[in-house]
Amino acid sequence: MDFRLNAQQELFRTTMREFVDAEIRPVARDWEQEGRYPTEIVAGMAELGLFGMTVPEEYGGLGLDLVSFAIVFEEISRGWMGIAGILGSHALSCAMIARHGTELQKKTWLPLLATGERRTGVGLTEPDAGTDLQGIRTTARLDGDHYVVSGRKTWITNARHADPLPVLVKTDPTATPAHRGMSILLVDAGSPGYEVSRDLPKLGYKGTESCEIVLDDVRVPRENLLGGVAGRGLQQALSALESGRVNIAARSVGLAQRAYDEALSYAKERTAFGRPIAQFQAIQLQLATMATKVQAARLLTYWAAAEGDAGNRVDTQTGMAKMFASEVALECAIESMKVHGGNGYSREYEVERLYRDAILMSIGEGTNDVLRTVIAKSLVSGEARVG
């Protein structure tokens, strides 16, 4: 049993860490407060080939293993979690096309998506359907050699840059169970009737946009049906979300690590009663607990990723990692604020941004309470076990 990264993964982490420390950390707080889009950082990520993380090498991508995939999101989130969002939805969409797309779809889109020349996201959530994706109302009616799509999507990351955007629709609204009538269509952003209607205001997760999209009788060529077969959309989306939970777990680890780093640094510098507060036992207990939980979350995340790399089904493992790491991220953010005292509440310090970003991690890619039920069902059924 080896808990160490291999030489290639170590080199990759060093490269990512240097990029984050040079290009992201120095500007994150100011750019987030200004509401500035991180154009230069996006260009740097494209130069590193990160938009091709989940694109196979034969289509011009990096074809990263899941552990290296986790490293990317951990390191970027250590700098600015919102930047990780730009890559996250794009990577999930690319993985979905690579895994389920027809050969023509792969050749058409993956090479351009791998370089970042084109970017993408995922159109799943609707105003009345988040966790319950079978409750979506967006429909696609077949009319000759086109589907006519009508509906609304919300909380869509990369919405203003996604082209194409994979959109989950109901090609047969009467199907029972509902998932048998659900499909994914690759929608070109320039299609008549396709509109990004507004950016949603958010507490945190700045740096990337989250938008509402209106589809008003948008005509989508039949060949843009993902995989070429209707009725498989929900399975295609859920299979991609398995690896997406590695993304969220790793983001949470990066956030938690940064919260710990900020607390440790502040505790060494801040003095009270004539000595650094790091010398007080109460602060030491907080730091020790944070450090232990960060490392536990990291190991759980890398374990889930390694299980995926081994070709195993990983819905339980990634669910565990995402649930635990996201809660550790919020705990560490809160504890770091406590170590900072009143300064932790100030926008002049990094920790208040970490707190605002951490809250989202327990919601994205399946809420933690829903994941608990998924994990429990797999344990009760015997599909998964502990130990």
Query: Which CATH number fits the domain that encloses residue 147?
Result: 2.40.110.10
Residue 142 included in any domain? yes
Omega cis (within 30) before 192: no
Q: Please state, in angstroms and rounded to a whole number, the distance separating the CA atoms of residues 266 and 336.
A: 9
User: What per-residue confidence (pLDDT) applies to 242?
Assistant: 81
Looking at the fold, whether 357 and 260 belong to one and the same domain comes out as: yes
Based on the residue annotation, tell me whether 212 is a catalytic residue of this protein. Answer: no
Please say which residue of 180, 215, 231 terminates a domain: 231
Residue closest to 109 by CA, chosen among 90, 88, 92, 94: 94
**How high is the pLDDT of residue 243?**
80
Q: Which residues form the domain of 198?
A: 133-231
In the chain (387 residues long), the average pLDDT of successive 10-residue segments reads 88 96 97 95 97 97 96 98 95 96 97 97 93 93 97 96 97 95 97 96 93 97 97 93 91 98 98 97 98 98 95 92 98 98 95 96 90 94 86
Joined tokens for residue 3:
């808990």
Q: Collapse the DSSP code of 204 into the 3-class scheme (helix H, G, I; strand E, B; otherwise coil) and give the result.
A: coil
Flag whether 51 is in a domain: yes
> Can you give the pTM of this predicted structure?
0.95
Q: Is 147 inside a domain boundary?
A: yes
Name the active-site residue from 32, 212, 350, 365. Answer: 365
Residue 366, pLDDT score: 84
Q: How many whole angstroms separate alpha carbon 127 and alpha carbon 91?
A: 24
Say whether both 328 and 247 belong to one domain: yes
Which one of 53, 88, 115 terminates a domain? 115
Cβ contact 225:185 at 8 Å: yes
Shared domain for 245 and 203, answered yes or no, is: no
Q: Give the pLDDT score at 240.
A: 87
- Say yes or no: 267 and 358 in one domain: yes
Q: Are residues 151 and 190 in the same domain?
A: yes
